[in-house]
């Protein structure tokens, strides 16, 4: 028996759409690229969408387009996937970490102001695991201090706060489509903005610095090849057309976990926060405070041994050696992050997980804890 941590949900419709592209003449920079971007911008409710080959490329291009450079500071969360902090460092800027809120696990808005200096250019918050709680407060602080918000929405497609979609909070917002995400293109990402100039810079940067309507071998700036092929876009178009179905399935799986685990006082089980409509990316429970890191690691090992794939989402970004060394970060600097990171257990979570699968995962977890 094996229950995977994550599985894509690909139907015949996606397969047909990809095959249709393969039978045609345009494998890249064709009509599917424009169709995917248009549908995505419309779904999120923003003026422009620019498809790229990964969420990381999208984050990096936003940093470049916004002119973030060496000497600038960008305030961000230590409880995220490494690419968030990396994108700040890729342009030579300095990530300034702020501890997280113990409930939402997002950057703690209350603690941001004390980290703002003359060098601060932007705040880069992340809707961790798909949860947009606190983003209204983060935006208020950014506005008060005239800071740009670069919204790393890579985990939050389809989530909403007060009826406002993830991806509408930042001057620029970024989504990612790796196969464990709410929708996948195999690999891929999308930049969202209402600013035509920023979007046009990203279009040029992703395509070797070419100009709009310019010659193929004419390059107006230093650029990259971060293009997303029409094959990936065709997959994305069908996946996006199924977003409501996908969201309903993920909500159902989350609900089963909540029903089966919430009463267990050894666990902290995520609930949908007030005013939020969460399209969960992963479903991460935590061990109660009295458990140690060693306990958690034993639980992970025991469950994996029994065929239930589980993972420690995430170790603190700032303790990755190359970051800790460069920015003199150490354990204890961010107590909430430390305490959360030592207790996380990411459970199997994907659209087509059955109630029986969830029951098996929960029973195994409880047996291991016993």
Considering the rule CB under 6 A, would residue 229 count as an interface residue with ligand PLP?
Answer: no
From first CA to last CA, the distance across the chain in angstroms is 21
Contact between 155 and ligand PLP per CB under 6 A: yes
- Indicate the residue among 64 and 362 with the shorter CB distance to ligand PLP: 64
Query: For ligand PLP, which residue of 154, 269, 341, 362 counts as binding (CB under 6 A)?
Result: 154
Q: Which lies closer to ligand PLP via its Cβ, residue 55 or residue 358? A: 55
Contacts within 8 Å (CB) and 24+ apart, 250-255: 250/182, 250/279, 250/280, 250/349, 250/351, 251/278, 251/279, 251/280, 253/280, 253/283, 253/349, 253/350, 253/351, 253/353, 253/358, 254/278, 254/280, 254/283, 254/349
Closest to ligand PLP by CB, 78 or 189 = 189
Q: Which is nearer to ligand PLP, 107 or 365 (CB)?
A: 107
Nearer to ligand PLP, 5 or 302 (CB): 5
Q: Which residue's CB atom is positioned nearest to ligand PLP?
A: 55
Q: 178 or 280, CB closer to ligand PLP?
A: 178
Interaction with ligand PLP in 186-205: which residues (CB under 6 A)?
A: 189
HSE-CB at 25 with a 13 A cutoff on CA atoms is: 0
Q: Does 33 bind ligand PLP (CB under 6 A)?
A: no
Separation CA 283–CA 258 (nearest Å):
10
Among 49, 83, 109, 246, binds ligand PLP (CB under 6 A): 83
Q: Which residues contact 329 (CB under 8 A, 6 or more apart)?
A: 78, 97, 318, 319, 323
Burial category of 237 from C-beta neighbours within 10 Å (exposed 0-12, middle 13-18, buried 19 and up): buried
Residue from 40, 60, 79, 81 binding ligand PLP (CB under 6 A): 81
**Rule CB under 6 A: is residue 54 a binding residue for ligand PLP?**
yes
* Of 77, 153, 146, 50, residue with least CA distance to 316: 77
Question: Residue 280 interacts with ligand PLP (CB under 6 A)?
Answer: no
Cβ atoms of 117 and 73 closer than 8 Å: yes
Interaction between residue 56 and ligand PLP (CB under 6 A): yes
Task: Please tell me whether residue 176 binds ligand PLP under the rule CB under 6 A.
Answer: yes
- Compute how many residues bind ligand PLP; rule: CB under 6 A: 14
Span of 149-157, 165-173, 210-218, 231-239 interacting with ligand PLP by CB under 6 A: 149-157
- Does 129 sit near ligand PLP (CB under 6 A)? no
For residues 46 and 192, give the distance between their C-alpha atoms in angstroms, rounded to a whole number.
Answer: 7
Q: Is 344 an interacting residue with respect to ligand PLP (CB under 6 A)?
A: no
CA distances from 17 to 22, 185, 230, 233, 317 (A): 9, 12, 10, 9, 38
Nearer to ligand PLP, 83 or 267 (CB): 83
Shortest approach of ligand PLP to residue 312 CB, angstroms? Answer: 15
Q: Which residues contact 239 (CB under 8 A, 6 or more apart)?
A: 14, 177, 183, 184, 185, 246
Report the residue from 6, 76, 77, 80 that binds ligand PLP according to the rule CB under 6 A: 80
Residue 99: CB minimum distance to ligand PLP, A: 17
The secondary structure of residue 39, as a DSSP letter, is: H
Binding site for ligand PLP (CB under 6 A): 54-56, 80-81, 83-84, 126, 152, 154-155, 176, 178, 189
């Amino acid at each position: 028996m094996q229950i995977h941590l994550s599985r894509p949900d690909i139907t015949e419709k996606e397969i047909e759409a990809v095959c249709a592209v393969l039978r045609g003449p345009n494998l890249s920079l064709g009509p599917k690229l424009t169709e995917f971007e248009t549908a995505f911008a419309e779904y999120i409710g923003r003026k422009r969408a620019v498809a790229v080959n990964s969420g990381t490329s999208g984050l990096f291009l936003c940093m470049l387009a916004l002119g973030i450079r060496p000497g600038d500071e960008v305030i961000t969360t230590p409880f995220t996937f490494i690419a968030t902090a990396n994108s700040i460092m890729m342009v030579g800027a300095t990530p300034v970490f702020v501890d997280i809120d113990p409930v939402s696990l997002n950057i703690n808005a209350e603690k941001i102001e004390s980290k703002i200096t003359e060098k601060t250019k932007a705040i880069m918050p992340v809707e961790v695991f798909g949860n947009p709680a606190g983003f209204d407060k983060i935006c208020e602080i950014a506005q008060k201090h005239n800071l740009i918000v670069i919204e790393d929405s890579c985990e939050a497609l389809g989530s909403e706060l007060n009826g406002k979609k993830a991806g509408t909070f930042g001057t620029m917002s970024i989504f990612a489509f790796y196969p464990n995400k709410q929708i996948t293109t195999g690999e891929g990402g999308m930049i969202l903005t209402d600013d035509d100039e920023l979007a046009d810079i990203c279009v040029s940067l992703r395509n070797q610095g070419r100009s709009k309507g310019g010659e193929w071998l004419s390059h107006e700036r230093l650029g990259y090849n971060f293009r997303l092929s029409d094959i990936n876009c065709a997959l994305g178009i069908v996946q996006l057309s199924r977003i409501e179905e996908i969201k309903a399935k993920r909500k159902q799986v989350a609900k089963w976990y909540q029903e089966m685990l919430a009463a267990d006082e050894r666990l902290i089980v995520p609930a949908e926060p007030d005013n939020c409509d969460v399209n969960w990316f992963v479903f991460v429970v935590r061990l109660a405070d009295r458990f140690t890191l060693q306990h958690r690691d034993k639980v992970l090992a025991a469950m994996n041994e029994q065929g239930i794939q589980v993972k420690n989402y995430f170790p603190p970004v700032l303790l990755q050696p190359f970051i800790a060394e460069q920015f003199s970060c150490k354990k204890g600097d961010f107590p909430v992050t430390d305490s959360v990171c030592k207790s996380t257990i990411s459970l199997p979570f994907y659209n087509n997980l059955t109630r029986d699968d969830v029951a098996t995962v929960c029973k195994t977890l409880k047996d291991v804890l016993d």
